[in-house]
Structure 1
Amino acid sequence: TIIIIMTTEKKVTSNNEKINETVNNLYFFNLDNDNCEIVSRKKKEDFYNEKSNDNKKNYLMSPKLSIPTNELLLKAEENGKRKFSWMDTENRVILNVGGIRHETFMHVLKKIPATRLSRLTPNLANYDPVLNEYFYDRHPGVFAMILNYYRTGKLHYPTNVCGPLFEEELEFWGLDANQVEPCCWMTYTQHRDTQDTLAVIESLDLDTEPPSHEEIAKKFGWEEDFYSGTMSSWQMLKPKLWSLFDEPWSSRSARILSIISIFFVIVSIVSFCLKTHPYMRVPEISFNATIYDNEPLHVIKNSTSRAHPYFFYVELICNIWFTFELLSRFIFSPNMKKFCKDPINIIDFIATVSFYIDWGLEELFSDTNRDTVEFFSIIRILRLFKLTQHSSGLKILIQTFKASAQELLLLVFFVLLGIVIFAALVYYAERVQQNPGNQFDSIPVGLWWAIITMCTIGFGDMVPKTYLGMIVGSVCALMGVLTIALPVPVIVSNFAMFYSHAQARSKLPKKRRRILQPHEVKPIVGRSTTAALLGTIASSNSTHFVTERNINIPENGDTHPGIERRYYDSLIENFARNMNHFTLSISRRPQDDLIQAGVAYGIRWG
């Protein structure tokens, strides 16, 4: 067995001085014995000039030297002297990932068992026996980090790719994403926080664009009827009526109804507040007298006031609208169970029902108990939360408090802890010295002073009089400032995060170009389109059949048939959507256009 190796050498004189002249030598090795005898050495130029040495030429293959996997190749190292060492080629593996070739050894891929690369065999469909390599149409940049993981045992996250793409590649190669090194873990997990934030924003329904008919049909669960075109009149009417009351941005009529709803909410709240003003109330004077022999013995005068009757009519009109709106939204809702569980709808229902209950019970109570009845009408103020349906900022603010619930609970815990501690301290501090004007007669009284001081309000109704009490008060105020200020940056950052993502999402195009899935791409039938792209088909009129559709390529003398960019959309859309037979004329331009069109629309040209 003879193997040929080409080396690049520098000429060396007798005193080991290198000469700037490069010589390409071909070494012929005989592997039939254990000594690896060098049969001969020739210059590359001389070897090619020998016309009669055809047998030796067969060992030298072009453009690459292909060595059988069951042989051993010699590696030449030139460090002034020629040294030859054995290099195992039996386990060498060539991996072509996304057009980038990677070479490694099989024992390296065996380091991580139960993965795709650890089970490579020539029987796989990805193996190319001609090129002696495995081809995978995956991301080459991520694969470089994955292959490095096999070599070093450390998985690092490339910062130039998105997190979901990295996870998808790891899943394809059968690797665990939790093996990412600690130095890259924080950067790697940022995409998870972003995905959670986007999921929350998606649930808030902040879209200001009208939903499409397909999206509405999907929300109501009528996809099959929508695509088949068998929707009834009620199915056509119900989504439109629902959009009027629940989607303020769906149409001009929906905006008008939204403005009317906001107007009635504001009028209801203003009326509820104004009717408590003394100038807006009507005085009522009642007498209770005891009469004996037609002469009063005892006369009790009771003076009260009640809201002006006009406020009742204002609230009646407002609640009629709220009742109509609530019933309409319930009847036209896509999911009635989900509608009943919505907190905003629950508040709206209770506030509306409370008005009718107050109206019915008003005559059953005496005038002295009328204030007790009106007290329960305070729940109508909660109608202000209905405004969140019309403001994305309010939705984001409420979601910010939900996301910061853990920090807020921690804040409440530390505040309560400080209140109890400083209430006890100020109570005993005021009793240590003689203090005739001591206002802290118990620890529960000190709780009120402590919470007012920690919140830096300071009403001044209770103040310490002794020096020790003043010191306790100063420390209490200082600790209150520090305790309350600590979670504020977290809440602000959460709001900024939600708001920035919401703004970015609002600028994102809602309708994106449809990408065909691999199972949706049908193979090309007929003459090879690849040949047409490479210009190997003659310029005569010809037709290339793609599934059930054909393309007529006119004759214009160009050897590279292609397609102009302005025809991309119409051509591919017809390929993907139109189910009828049709013929398209394509003007011939540089072949790259048609190739890029196929890649851009996810169509594989065969």
Structure 2
Amino acid sequence: MEGSKEKIILNIGGVRYETYSSTLQTFPGTKLCSLTEPHAPSIYDYDPATKEFFFDRSAEIFSYVLNYYRTKHFHCPIDICRSVLEEELAFWEINETQLASCCWLKLNNKEVQPEEFNIWDENEQTDDQCLIVQTERRDFSWRTRWQPKIWSVFEKPFSSFSAKCLALVSLLFIVGIVIIFCEETKAQFEFFTANFTSIGYSEVSHNDHEPYYHQPAYLLHLELFCVLWFTFELSVRFCFCPDKKLFFQNPLNMVDFLSLFPVYIELFVAGQIQRMPSLGLWLGFVRVVYLLKLLKISKLIETPLILRVLCYTLKSILREIFILLMILTFETLFFGSLFFYGELLGSHPSYTGELHFTDILVCFWWALITLTTVGYGDIIPLTTAGQVTAALAAVFGMLTIIIPIPIFLVKFKSYYDIAIFKQKLKRSKKL
């Protein structure tokens, strides 16, 4: 008789099970697999008369264990105690992470939909590295041969030594341009403080021979040098990207693209900036995108699990967040209006002082600050009606913010447990 058709009889707590030897060999390294070895009768409780192995264990759970060897899908009864299940799995040398997701949710009393359990697998396909897709091509041109290699060098920092060096150089340029951005703000601030009045910008210089807005030339040259590197890097990544559409759907790639414009525009309109200094300030405002490039550092480190769970939690409660913002908007308009008319109608006729607001829009600002319990104190109620409105706004603001917190925590805890289980499952598969 062939080895694959050889049968093994197991007596588990008085219940006899009969299966093929090849079935028990499905998962090497486990106790059941060791029963197929020649020296197994001398190690375990074996009865030569009945030709069966005896184990004084739970027959109910063993039926699911044996079915796991048959189907490679491990399920368990709903009413089983988790401690008992873990003890039996430890005896049969089976990792608990092999438990099917549906049974894991039931065993841990997680009210999560099965499709939510697979959110981690789906997210891997939406990551930046999902662009690294080996598209089938019929030609064998140099671009086809070099595209995966070059793309990996620029997009996967830990794929090779050259990729690590390139990532380090890119990081140094990012840090450098951020430092340059901070230095450039000094001249902008000096112009602002010297020429800004309550009316606006002063377009008249105190000295007609000296420009009143001056940016050091060496800063612009250093910035241009950094931007030229970013232009080269973005061009190569775009040229060798397998999917151009997905490339521009990535927010970080859009940041790289927008960060190229400020210095080129300033070089193009260099003479106009001295006559219109406000243009220099607007270009400085656009340069804020340089700071967003620091987010690319996340590619050099593994995103912490808690941050990924936080992102998934926020995505799952977008509807609740939208409703919360609608309620907060309504409360802002309502209490702002009450405060506006309460202060006007409640003011004493003999009051000669000035109110802290000029229109209802300022009252809306006050209502939002009060509802969020920030309370800058720039606007304060002066009348009894205004004080009552302020007290109600503070109470309703606390309730609006505090009540949704348990919903967020429950969702976060659920996704965190799933993430931990997924990590254990991934590690067990690597072993």
Fold conserved between structures, TM > 0.5: yes
CA distance in 1, matches of 2:336, 2:321: 22
CA drift at 1:374: 3.6
Letter in 2 for 1:264: F
TM-score (norm 2): 0.62
Does the C-alpha gap of structure 1 residues 508 and 268 become closer, same or farther in structure 2, counting only changes over 3 Å?
farther
After TM superposition, the structure 1 = structure 2 runs for residues 510-529 of structure 1, keeping only pairs within 5 Å, are none
After TM superposition, the structure 1 = structure 2 runs for residues 26-105 of structure 1, keeping only pairs within 5 Å, are none
**Unaligned 5+ runs, structure 2:** 1-16, 20-61, 68-75, 81-98, 196-201
CA drift at 1:423: 0.9
What is the aligned partner in structure 2 of residue 405 from structure 1? 318
What is the aligned partner in structure 1 of residue 269 from structure 2? 361
Residue 331 (str. 1) matches residue 239 (str. 2): yes
Letter in 1 for 2:330: L
After TM superposition, the structure 1 = structure 2 runs for residues 110-509 of structure 1, keeping only pairs within 5 Å, are 158=78, 162-164=100-102, 190=112, 192-203=114-125, 205=127, 219-222=133-136, 234-278=143-187, 304-368=212-276, 369-391=279-301, 392-393=303-304, 397-430=310-343, 431-434=345-348, 435-437=351-353, 438-440=355-357, 442-491=359-408, 505=422, 508-509=425-426
Higher mean C-alpha deviation, range 278-287 or range 440-449: 278-287
Does the C-alpha gap of structure 1 residues 334 and 279 become closer, same or farther in structure 2, counting only changes over 3 Å?
closer
Kept in 2: contact 1:362–1:373 (CA 8 A): no
Letter in 1 for 2:238: F
Kept in 1: contact 2:259–2:290 (CA 8 A): yes
CA distance in 1, matches of 2:261, 2:340: 48
Higher RCO, 1 vs 2 (CA within 8 Å, ≥6 residues apart): 2
Does the C-alpha gap of structure 1 residues 206 and 358 become closer, same or farther in structure 2, counting only changes over 3 Å?
closer
Letter in 1 for 2:117: Q
CA drift at 1:252: 2.9
Kept in 1: contact 2:101–2:117 (CA 8 A): no
CA distance in 2, matches of 1:483, 1:408: 11
CA distance in 2, matches of 1:341, 1:408: 24
The sequence identity of aligned pairs, in percent, is: 27
CA distance in 2, matches of 1:314, 1:323: 14
Tell me the SS of whatever aligns to 2:260. helix
Tell me the SS of whatever aligns to 1:471. helix
CA drift at 1:191: 5.6
TM-score (norm 1): 0.46
Does the C-alpha gap of structure 1 residues 165 and 99 become closer, same or farther in structure 2, counting only changes over 3 Å?
farther
CA drift at 1:472: 1.8
CA distance in 1, matches of 2:423, 2:107: 30
C-alpha distance after superposition, 1:424-445 (max 9, x if no partner)? 2222322224154333454322
Kept in 1: contact 2:211–2:274 (CA 8 A): no
CA drift at 1:249: 2.3
CA drift at 1:450: 0.7
C-alpha distance after superposition, 1:312-357 (max 9, x if no partner)? 1221121112111111211222222221332221221122234323
Kept in 1: contact 2:154–2:166 (CA 8 A): yes
Does the C-alpha gap of structure 1 residues 482 and 503 become closer, same or farther in structure 2, counting only changes over 3 Å?
same
Does the C-alpha gap of structure 1 residues 163 and 501 become closer, same or farther in structure 2, counting only changes over 3 Å?
closer
Kept in 2: contact 1:396–1:499 (CA 8 A): yes
| Larger Rg belongs to | 1
Does the C-alpha gap of structure 1 residues 313 and 507 become closer, same or farther in structure 2, counting only changes over 3 Å?
farther
Kept in 2: contact 1:287–1:300 (CA 8 A): no
CA distance in 1, matches of 2:421, 2:109: 21
Letter in 2 for 1:389: K
Tell me the SS of whatever aligns to 2:212. strand
CA distance in 2, matches of 1:157, 1:361: 74
